[in-house]
Chain A
């Protein structure tokens, strides 16, 4: 069964360092998302990406964040200068462009980021 894969599964970094989280969405999917979940809290939308550009982003997704789809398969989230409050699980998800009740979101297993 096709799946979304994410790397690394866990990254520990020092405050102020740059971090890149990588995702390989399912190959025929066209919409890509990043979400984050701080431990014990809700799943928060960060950004959606379609047709090689950001389609929407939340207020969390400030200038420290960027996304890229560099080679047609990977979808990356970069945090330029990490803060303590960036510590969270980051989920990548993808879906087909189906309308109505098609277009289920498929999630990767997440990348846990710990900022010290």
Chain B
């Protein structure tokens, strides 16, 4: 089983749509969780951390289910500028491991 596994995508959605990405991780001792965003040919940048109780930042909502070893990211009212690859990142004993990423394209 891969350490961090994500929806393969790609997701092509119209502006204003709601889209959800899922991620599972293999190490139950993983300590912290993040969603990163990567634009084409750029470095990954932190989008948001994922807290146990779930957290929201504007149009973005992240959820964590430790029992199922599952993380999700929900984007509401998607914008053209949300087009990017979304990376699930898991901290396993201070080693940050990345999922393969899910590509999102938001179309007018």
CB of B102 to closest CB in A, whole Å: 11
CB neighbors of B among A90-116 (8 A) = 91, 93, 95, 97, 99-105, 107-110
In the complex, what residues of B have CB within 8 A of residue A31's CB? 94
With an 8 A cutoff between CB atoms, is B107 at the interface? no
Return the contact of A43 from the options B34, B51, B101 (Cβ within 8 A).
B101
The residue of chain B having its C-beta at the shortest distance from the C-beta of A112 within the complex is B41
A74 CA to B32 CA, complexed, in Å: 27
Cβ–Cβ contact A105 & B95, under 8 A: no
Residues of B within 8 A of A107 (CB): 43-45
Q: What's the tally of chain B residues with a CB closer than 8 Å to chain A? A: 27
A99 adjacent to B32 (CB under 8 Å): yes
Cα distance, A89 to B45, chains bound together (Å): 15
Interface segment, one of A11-19, A48-56, A64-72, A75-83: A48-56
14 contacting pairs across A/B (C-beta < 8 A): A33-B95, A43-B87, A45-B97, A56-B93, A56-B95, A97-B94, A101-B33, A101-B34, A101-B51, A103-B94, A104-B46, A105-B89, A107-B44, A107-B45
